[in-house]
Structure 1
Amino acid sequence: MPDSGDMRDVESTPRQDAQVRVFALPPAEDAEPLEIVQGFLEALTSDDLDYETARKYLTGNALKDWEPGESTTVLEEAPIPYTQVTGERPEADEYRYQLSGEKVALVDGQHAYRPAGGQYRRTVHLTRVKDTQQWRIDELPPGVVLGRSDFERNYKSINKYYFTSAAQSGEPGTVADPVYVRSQVDPVTQVVRDLLKGPTSWLNPVARTSFPSGTALKKGTRALTPDDQNRLVVPLNKKADRVSAGRCKEMAAQLLYTLQDYMPTGVDEVELQGSTGAQLCVVVEGESGIASHGFGKHAEYEYLIDGEHKLVRLSEQDPVTTPTAVPGALGEGEKQLRSAAVSRDEDRAAGVSADGSELYVAPLTAGGTLGDPVLRSTGATAKDRLTTPSWDGRGDLWVADRDLEKPRLLVLADGMGEPLEVRTPSLDGRIEAVRVAADGVRIALILENKGKRALYIGRVERDADAESTTVSIVELRSVTPDLEDVTAMSWAGDSQLVVVGREPRGVQQMRYVRVDGSPTPDSGLSALTGVEEVAASEDESQPLVAHSADGIVRLSPGAQWQTVVKEGSAPVYPG
């Protein structure tokens, strides 16, 4: 390397990763047992429609019973076969190989992803076929097993969309249900079939589909492809023939939202056809009155607590980076604050007092009064009191009280009702942060247990009767198993969050993760030191905002981190 002279620009062309496709090879004539096992494992990474080539390596019950769609086991590296010879004679007619590796994840029969750990140890048994004297596999593990790099090349995460009743507008809201499909094997048809089968088991209790039970593609339907006008025609079986016009519109909207997640510029219109080929209904992009979908209103401001402990706001569009106080009592400094949450319509805000003991809710209008706190905590110290609150899509307000004597998760109906203690039967640890998704049926929690903090996603279930309403958080699942210390997080879209954390013996990092625990492509963000809090909008076009060692900083799409306010803390977007 030169050690003197001037610096100069170097012309370079960004590397373009061409789409790699893998074509499987059938078994070679007189292939040895190890070659058969290796060929089969390689065939599992191919783009065969129904693993036709992989099946050529099988015989007997393995050929008859193997269901590749049953599950997909993802390992850190491609599985390694170790020989275990069953017979002692050189001319033995059977071999047994053990496949081994380090587990990363499991994709189940519904195509839902779950992080997994531990060792993978399964066996493959081979026999010599009497008629041909060729080695073939007659016993094998269930489903498909492959390495992480092959999984990331072959599979893509897609959001299926279903309905909830959590939207503030009165229309049904939508909730994303991420699944993985094989990206090179007729993905549009795969996505449609998956959507018609209904929500995955984790989401099913709080989501609904408008497709009648048993609805499927019309028998004989081949690959679905949008035409040159970005219009997709979906023929359905008899189960859909008698649906009402309104329900049909909801069905078509589910397909449109889902397909636009897979190919944002590829589908503008969906037509549903009945079993006779007659048109049932059509939905076009942007059609209103069907459901509240997406992030809703574009946030007008970013909010934070300034150096004087008042709630202030910044406009993304305004080149002036001096924040202005919000209208109303929370911006007047009547009560010093340490954190706040702004309702999704930006009409109200909730603020936590500087010592963490009191929660106030006030309108963001000039002349509004503060009133009495809607909640008090009696925790012994400031860190044992209230967390930053969070508004859901129904307009309800959530907050955790970290009082060591009585830790609780609370929800206030419409931000002003009597605080209702939320049931948390599977909670293992103390809640350090709360963020509810816009759909109102998923909640992100940072839990501290034995000095370690991890991020969990839970399902929000509501059970109302004539006398009372019960709210529960169930089936919590970790989405950051490789991080031992998560310090901040925020929802950053329909099915992903931005997370600040640290791996064992690692340094602090900021990255995106999906709600199922799978990593996002290019999930790493440019380095930023001393991050204490982070805020992202569910509208992914808006900047990321963080409280770091440099103050309040902002990361716009395609740009670098920029300091916007030197003195400030607790940045938030509406929600």
Structure 2
Amino acid sequence: MNARTTAPVSAGAAAPAGLRGTAPRRKRAVLVVLLAVLAAAASACATVPGDSSVQVLRKVSDGEAPPAPPGPVDGTNPLDLVRGFVYASGSSADRHGAARRFLAPEAGTWDDGASVTVLDEQFGTVPVASGPDSTTVRIRGTRIGTLTNSGAFEPDEAPVEADVTVVRRDGQWRIASLPPGVFVRLSDLRSNYRSIKVFFVDPVRSTVVPDLRYLPAVPAKAQAARAVDMLLDGPSAALAGAVASRLPETASLTSNVTETADGGLVVDLTGVGTLDDAGRRLLAAQVVLTLSEVNASRVRLLIDGAPVLPATLDVTRADVASAAADAADAGAPQQPALVAAGGRVRKLGGDDPGGVVAGQMGNGAFDIASAAVTIDGGRQAVVSREGGRSRLIVGEGDKPLQATEVTGAVLTRPTWAPGGTEVWTVADGTTVSRVVLDPGAPPRRAPVDASALTAAGGSITSFRMSRDGMRVAAVVGGRVVTASVARAFDGSVTLRGARLLRPGELGDAVAVDWRSTDTVVVVSARSDRAVSLVSADGLALDSVSGSNLTPPLRAVAAAPNRPLLVVDQGGVWSFSGGQLDTWRLVAGGMPDAVPFYPG
């Protein structure tokens, strides 16, 4: 074997187990999927629609497996043989059986489960040393990232190289020696793998939140067992320290996941330990919501043979849906989109588009640069310009707004944490600040350790908290970075696990917002990629149509099931993303507009 990498090919270490510890319990070769981001084009209107059909990630269907990639063709030269091997590696069926057809007998011990290196579409196979019956071929490309053994994607863009030895036997070239692990192009994975959400516990709010993973789409019958394995493995490194699990390290299955006669699943756990009623409900939510991702409609969830929920033998998604972090937001009345412009907050939709809102946000009491309101509209935060400085000001209901200690030459658009008790902003591109609103007390500034984010280098010009409160997305030095929000029981907060998302494609970023808990919208100064959608782990990326927009863009606002809003030189534009749709001007003549959705 002869292997060399410009950036080492990781062995794909299993995901840390977050608050339960960092050691995985077992090694699993769960691979990945690119899930295409959908966007469309063409049409026109003058108000913001009430909902949106923008699709972020496409799940591969649960049908039969696509045809296996073809094996080597007789007479194939060494360079094309190795290229075909990489193409075939997109199918993980039968331990990468399609790819193994390219191997000579002496390579039969190839460890395909050691790592998964996800390649950009363009890669090369070049000769390094050649002879009449043996040659060395170098795979050369750009690594987007790697997959852990528990199916989590770790972004890590870098050049990568690996050498394989090819020999001629009986007149045909075959691979005799190769490094462990697989190289997989994104496009070759799209047809064979799917994304799922594995659910863990927000220890502060006692709700469950999703963690994005990838697994083979077929065979469909194996997906439930794989999903439970991912759950037992614990949180991915991206959320380790931010979430917990009601499944301790000692937990395991007493037997394989099985199917009942009427189509439900039986999951019998052991080693769970003692749980109170609240803990049992969170455990049920973790398992049932995770399995609903692989189309399991009912789960007979047991601990040592006894039902986890004594009154409910077979648990459905509806039984545990209220435990999801986004359940409260989903039930709240939809508030109209708003925009800060001309020093006041105005409406973008409804029966008075362009009209100012009631109270001090709209009456000119403050010179407002940007603003945010909670999902129910009950609390407000504004960045008020005061001469050459800016100050964060907060308020509740129709009470007068109150000044906070947070000031700076520039403050980013405020962003509320779930529950409406905290609002965050960044001062002067360097200081991440949070203000806590305690009942009956003045707003107080609370510490946050943001060193992981600021270490990315450069000024923080945009900063948004995800709607489940578990992650932040930011523009740091023109690049898109995400990090998890880890809260300790003493009230301290740390941003950790900062990840740089697709720097090659998402450079020159201007602003970000969360489209959903696992998707970020990015606007940039580039004319060729003005608006992009990227998954929170950086794996899936696509451009949104820029029809009608005039770059450079300046701001973006997004929310689940709402149109995307961006600001260009002409004003505020809306995009719902359905077929035959395009960007529509909803507010013109607002050069300083900063749109936002409640939440």
CA contact (8 A) 1:75 1:145 kept: no
Alignment of 1:221-236 (within 5 A): 221=257, 232-236=264-268
> What amino acid is aligned across from residue 284 of structure 1 in structure 2?
T
Corresponding position of 2:537 = 516
Contact kept, 8 Å, 2:225 with 2:256, in 1: the verdict is no
Give 2:226's aligned residue: 190
Residues 457, 361 of structure 1: alpha-carbon distance in 2 compared, 3 angstrom cutoff? same
Give the partner amino acid of 2:472: I
Is 1:206 matched up with 2:206?
Answer: no
Find out whether 1:178 has 2:201 as its counterpart. Answer: no
Question: Bigger relative contact order, structure 1 or 2, given CA contacts below 8 A and separation 6+?
Answer: 2
| Structure 1 residues 254 and 298: CA distance shift in structure 2, 3 A | farther
Where in structure 1 are there 5+ consecutive unaligned residues? Answer: 1-16
- For 2:83 and 2:382, the matched residues in 1 are separated by 61
Q: Distance in 2 between matches of 1:546 and 1:123?
A: 46
Q: Is the 8 A contact 2:475 2:481 kept in 1?
A: yes
Q: Does the residue aligned with 1:330 lie in a helix, a strand or coil?
A: coil
Is 2:326 the partner of 1:290? no
Q: Give the Å deviation of 1:40.
A: 3.9
Distance 1:421 1:243 in 2: 33
Shift of 1:122: 0.9
Q: Does 1:572 align with 2:596?
A: yes
Specify which of 366, 377, 380 is matched with residue 346 of structure 1: 377
Paired amino acid for 2:317: E
| Partner residue of 2:405 out of 375, 379, 385 | 375
Q: Cα distance, 1:242 vs. partner? A: 6.9
* Deviation at residue 387 of structure 1 after TM alignment: 1.8
Superposed CA deviations along residues 135-154 of structure 1, whole A, max 9, x for unmatched, are 76443122111223213333
Which of 445, 451, 455 in structure 2 is aligned with 1:419?
Answer: 445
Deviation at 1:535?
0.8
Contact 1:424 1:473 in 2 (8 A): yes
Q: Which of 484, 498, 510 is the aligned partner of 2:507? A: 484
Q: 2:270 aligns to what? A: 238
Residues 275-354 of structure 1: matches in 2 within 5 Å? Answer: 281-287=313-319, 290-294=323-327, 295-296=329-330, 297-307=332-342, 309-315=343-349, 318=350, 320-354=351-385
Aligned equivalent of 2:422, options 371, 384, 396: 396
> Secondary structure of the residue that 1:512 maps to in structure 2?
strand
Alignment identity in percent? 24
What TM-score do you get using the length of structure 2 for normalisation? 0.75
Matched, 1:144 2:175: no
Alpha-carbon spacing, 1:548–1:39, altered in 2? closer, same or farther (3 Å): closer
Q: Secondary structure at the match of 1:203?
A: coil
1:13 corresponds to which residue?
Answer: none
The more displaced of 338-347 and 525-534 is 525-534
- Is 1:76 aligned to 2:121, yes or no? yes
Q: Is the contact between residue 483 and residue 501 of structure 1 (CA under 8 Å) also seen in structure 2?
A: yes
Rounded to whole Å, the distance in 2 between the matches of 1:385 and 1:137 is: 58
- 1:356-409 Cα shifts (integer Å, max 9, x gaps): 5222112232xx2234x11353x5xxxx32221111114211111107xxx411
Q: Following the alignment from structure 1 to structure 2, what is the Cα–Cα distance between the partners of residues 49 and 521?
A: 31
- Once the two structures are overlaid, the 10-residue window that deviates more, 280-289 or 493-502, is 280-289
TM-score for the superposition, normalised by structure 1: 0.78
- Over 3 Å counting, the alpha-carbon distance change for 1:277 and 1:433 in structure 2 is same
Superposed displacement of residue 311, structure 1? 2.0
1:164 and 1:242, CA in 2 relative to 1: closer, same or farther beyond 3 A? Answer: closer
Q: Distance in 2 between matches of 1:486 and 1:123?
A: 36
Q: Distance in 1 between matches of 2:558 and 2:276?
A: 39
Q: For the structure 1 residues 115 and 512, does the alpha-carbon distance in structure 2 shift closer, same or farther, using more than 3 Å as the test?
A: same
Q: Secondary structure of 2:375's partner?
A: coil
- Please give the alpha-carbon distance, in whole angstroms, between the structure 2 residues aligned to 1:278 and 1:59: 51
Relative to structure 1, the CA distance from residue 414 to residue 271 in structure 2 (aligned partners, 3 Å threshold; closer, same or farther) is: farther
After TM superposition, give the deviation of residue 514 of structure 1 in Å.
Answer: 1.0
Structure 1 residue 104 displacement after superposition: 3.0
Task: Name the SS for the 2:146 alignment partner.
Answer: strand
Kindly indicate whether the alpha-carbon contact (under 8 Å) linking 1:408 and 1:422 is maintained by their aligned counterparts in 2: no
Q: Secondary structure at the match of 1:64?
A: coil
Give, in angstroms, the shift of residue 567 of structure 1. Answer: 4.5
Which residue of 1 is the match for residue 485 of structure 2?
460
1:61–1:139 contact (8 Å) kept in structure 2? yes
Q: How many Å apart are 1:282 and its aligned residue?
A: 3.3
Tell whether 2:148 aligns with 1:108.
yes
CA pair 24-517 structure 1, distance change in 2 beyond 3 A: closer
Matched residue of 1:205: which SS?
coil
Quick one: structure 1 residues 79 and 198, their matched pair in 2 at CA, closer, same or farther if it must change by over 3 Å?
farther
Between Structure 1 and Structure 2, how many residues are aligned?
515
Aligned CA RMSD, in angstroms, stands at: 3.6
Deviation of the 1:324 alpha carbon? 4.0
CA shift at 1:342, angstroms? 0.7
Paired position in structure 1 for 2:15: none
Secondary structure at the residue paired with 2:161? strand
Is the contact made by 1:163 and 1:209 (CA closer than 8 Å) also made in structure 2? Answer: yes
**2:136 equivalent among 87, 93, 96:** 96
Q: How far is the alpha carbon of 1:310 from its aligned partner?
A: 1.8
Q: 1:185 to 1:82 in 2, by over 3 A?
A: farther
1:515 Cα offset (Å): 1.0
Supply the distance in 1 between the matched residues of 2:264 and 2:437 (Cα, whole angstroms). Answer: 40
Partners of 2:544 and 2:232 in 1: CA distance = 30
Distance 1:527 1:166 in 2: 44
Matched with 1:359 is 392
Contact 1:21 1:46 in 2 (8 A): no
Contact 1:215 1:236 in 2 (8 A): no
Contact 2:511/2:524 (<8 A) preserved: yes
Q: Which amino acid aligns with 1:475?
A: G
Residues 326 and 468, structure 2, Cα contact 8 Å, conserved in 1: no
Q: Is the 8 A contact 1:252 1:270 kept in 2?
A: no
**Equivalent of residue 546 in structure 1, options 551, 554, 566:** 566
Deviation sequence 1:324-371 (CA, Å, 0-9, x none): 433332222211211111123310101111355222112232xx2234
Q: Does 2:521 correspond to 1:498?
A: yes
Q: Does 1:556 align with 2:573?
A: no
Counterparts in 2 of 1:476 and 1:31: CA distance versus 1, 3 Å: closer
8 A contact 2:121–2:185 mirrored in 1: yes
1:252 aligns with 2:278: no
Residues 542 and 557 of structure 1 are in contact (CA less than 8 Å); yes or no, is this contact kept in structure 2?
A: no
Q: Distance in 2 between matches of 1:160 and 1:333?
A: 46
Q: Structure 1 residues 421 and 95 mapped into 2: Cα distance closer, same or farther (>3 Å)?
A: same
